[in-house]
Amino acid sequence: AQSVTQPDIHITVSEGASLELRCNYSYGATPYLFWYVQSPGQGLQLLLKYFSGDTLVQGIKGFEAEFKRSQSSFNLRKPSVHWSDAAEYFCAGAGGQGNLIFGKGTKLSVKP
Query: C-beta of 13: minimal distance to another protein in Å?
Result: 21
d(CA 12, CA 16): 12
From residue 57 to residue 86, the character string flagging contacts with another protein as x (rule: CB under 8 A) and all else as - is ------------------------------
Using rule CB under 8 A, residue 109 touches another protein: no
- What's the start-to-end Cα distance of the chain, in Å? 41
Q: Can you tell me which of 57, 74, 90, 108 binds another protein, judged by CB under 8 A?
A: 90
From residue 8 to residue 47, the character string flagging contacts with another protein as x (rule: CB under 8 A) and all else as - is -x----------------------x-x-x----xxxxxx-
Residue 14 class from Cβ within 10 Å (0-12 exposed, 13-18 middle, 19+ buried)?
exposed
| Residue 107, number of CB atoms within 10 A of its CB | 14
